[in-house]
Every structure is written in structure tokens, then in C-alpha cells.
Amino acid sequence: MDGTGGPGGGRTEPRELLTIGAFARASRLSPKALRLYDELGLLRPARVDPANGYRRYAPAQLEAARLVAWLRRLGMPLARIREVCALPHPAAADAVAAYWAQVEADTAARRDLAAFLVDQLSRKDTTMNASPTPLSLRAAAGTDGGLVRTVNQDAAYAGPRLLAVADGYGPGGGPAGVAAIDALRPLEDQDLVPEQDPEGTALLNSLEAAAQRANLAVQRLGADRVPGEPGGGEAGCTLTALLRSGSRFGLLHVGDSRAYVLRDSGLVRITHDHSLVQSLVDEGRLTPEEAPAHPQRALLVRALDGGAAFVPDLQVVDARPGDRYLLCTDGLYGALPAGALRDALAAAAGPEEAVRELIALAREAGGPDNIGCVVADPTAA
Ligand code: MN
């Protein structure tokens, strides 16, 4: 196909090539779209006139142009379209099928999240008018080293107001996770009166201030280490925490540990992983099914590492009696599919049993990583 576009053939063959206008008419695409596809590297013209920059297309490119248009209508990300267009037909068919399976899985997860949000928002009005029912927590926490790792760098905490998990990485990662949770623990004693905090601002401010203290604590640990020495070098942790205030939770999150809520027998994930593989999934370059096997699955794009750029996610969650919350590290959700998490949570009589059962299941699944989890039931106080 380069034969039509080479500099030598330029003088004799342009007649066989179509102008962008003619190619646009033949492909039912606008010249503007064709220029965009060229700029994005999705469909290069067969020849670009070096003198005036006019694009010329070969008739054989019509099929590729139509495929690009179809894939864009499907909502496929541009990077993925580029990959599909480079494949031979049977492989391209497989790639489209894999993409659609991913869309359907994402849609199912988003449907649960949407139902959760609809519920949150419809409750807002009623709780504003009536005084919200204060809730108390029944909660349990546990960690386990798993069957492969020689040290346990996961930490978990469950108190009357505060729930937290942390997953340390690097040398000194274990102490980082413990220090991070310790920095949040003074929040247990803070009496945040929900009636004076209708938007949850005070709740989130307290959490954010505590998170900054946690980051400083991890930074101080790092300052004691010498890079290149045993126990030195890069270290930090994930941190996912819920702080109860009245009938609400403040959610603090950084890294790839997760928070879930089991509500109306559906399990909804309420955190977004700050990991490289999640970024690749978001961009459509990796399917959620491929993510667990990715060689760089442990790579975080955000963490609590003592750095100046530390920014946690913060969110308010309206809790209700009957909910069951799960905080866990990747050693749990990486070992068990979401359906197994949901079933074990739904079957357990209480938080202690749920934590025991989840850790046992992760160990049965091979326990390749440290396992840390917290399960909590809000109940009417
Ligand atoms: Mn882990």
C-alpha cells in the first residue's frame, strides 16, 4: 500500500488516489473527521503532498475508514481503535468481542454504583428534614501474612468511629502502614456533631488534616532510612479509611486498597484504585479480566509516601442500618472474585465471622499476598 504513496510514484499515481473530499463522500465520513483520524494516527492518508499538504487516500483504505467510524460509534477509546485496526480480521473480531465484554462488565458495576447513588441522593432530602438517626458501629479487623510473603505489611483497625486498612510497600512499608493508621486514631476522640455539619465539610476537613499528619509520619520514617542500605529506599503505603459521624461516613482513600458496601444484597465498590492497571483499564487498553495478571499490577500511581504531592480522595457516604462495609487490601480482592466477596459478606452472622471467613477464603485461594480487612455494620444507636 506504500506503492501508491512513494515519492517516485507521486507523479503518475495520484489519479488513482482520492482527494480528501472524494474519499469523504465515498466513506460517508466528513473531511474534518478524516483529518482528525490522521492527526490521531488512526488512519493515515496514502500520500500527503509535500508542497501543499493535501491528503490523498487510496480506494483500498475505504474499509479501514469505515471500521474506524464503526468503532468510534461503539465508544471504543482511540488507543484501542488504533490497535484493532492494525490486527488481521479474525484477531480484530476477537478484540471487538473482548472490548464489548469489558463494557458490559463495567456497565454492570456502574449500574450497582448508580443505584447506590440514587439511594444516597433520595435520602438526602428526608435526612435534612428529619434529624438523621445516629448510628453506632459493630466492627472487626484482621490481617494475615498469607502463604507466600515472609513479612506482613498490611495493617487494619476497627474502632467505635474509625475503620482503616493500609498496605505497606518497600522496605519499611509495614511500619509506614502502622504509622499512617496511628495518625488517624486521634479522630476516635473527636466529637464531630453532624447537626452542625450538614454538608459534611467538618468531617472531611478532619479526615484530610489527619491524612496530612499520616503523610508526615511516613515522611519521618523515610528520613530515618538511607537509600541503598538494607531497610532504606522507597517505601510508603495505601490508606483507605471510614470515619463515622452521626449517620454518615467520611471516606478517605489513596492507593489500591478498597472500600465496598453490601446494600440490598448488591456489593458496590466505593473507591477507585490509584494503580497503573486501573489507569490502563480506564483508557480501554486493558480489560478488568486481564488486570490481575498484569506484571505491573502492584504499581501505584498515588500512595501515601511522604511526598509533597500527596492528595487523598475524600467523599461523604450516608450509611444506613443493614449496610455492611468492607475495607480490604489487594491481598483479599486480588485472591477472591467479587461474587465470592459478596457471598461471604452476606452469609456471615457478624463482622468477626466475616473477617475470619474472608481471610480463610483468601488463604484457600493461595494467599499470594498479605491479607488485610475490616468489616463493619452500622446499627441504630
Ligand atoms: Mn498487598
Q: How far is the CA of 86 from the centre of ligand 1 (A)?
A: 36
Q: How far is the CA of 234 from the centre of ligand 1 (A)?
A: 16
Q: How far is the CA of 292 from the centre of ligand 1 (A)?
A: 12
Burial of 159 per CB tally in 10 Å (0-12, 13-18, 19+): middle
Beta bridge partners of 143: 372
d(CA 313, CA 174): 22
263: number of Cβ within 10 Å: 18
3-state secondary structure (DSSP) of residue 171 = coil
Q: How far is the CA of 299 from the centre of ligand 1 (A)?
A: 11
Reading the block at residue 369, the C-alpha cell is 499476598
Total count of residues recorded for the chain: 381
Cβ–Cβ < 8 Å for 218, 236 = yes
d(CA 307, CA 302): 10
Reading the block at residue 169, the C-alpha cell is 510497600
Name which of 107, 138, 113 is nearest 266 in CA terms.
113
pLDDT tens sequence for the chain (381 residues): 444 444 444 444 556 899 999 999 998 899 999 999 999 888 999 999 999 999 999 999 999 999 998 998 898 888 889 889 989 989 999 999 988 888 887 787 788 788 888 887 877 655 554 556 778 999 999 999 999 999 999 999 999 999 999 999 988 889 999 999 999 999 998 765 555 677 788 899 999 999 999 999 999 887 666 555 544 457 899 999 999 988 899 999 999 999 999 998 889 999 999 999 988 887 777 777 778 788 888 889 899 999 888 889 999 999 989 999 999 999 999 999 999 999 999 999 999 999 999 999 999 999 999 999 999 999 987
CA angle 219, 220, 225 (to 5 degrees): 95
Q: How far is the CA of 329 from the centre of ligand 1 (A)?
A: 6
For cell 492497571, the residue is 277
pTM: predicted TM-score of the whole model, two decimal places: 0.76
Q: How far is the CA of 324 from the centre of ligand 1 (A)?
A: 22
Q: How far is the CA of 123 from the centre of ligand 1 (A)?
A: 35
Q: How far is the CA of 172 from the centre of ligand 1 (A)?
A: 14
In sequence order, the 6+-apart residues with CB closer than 8 A to the CB of 367 are 144, 146, 147, 148, 331, 335
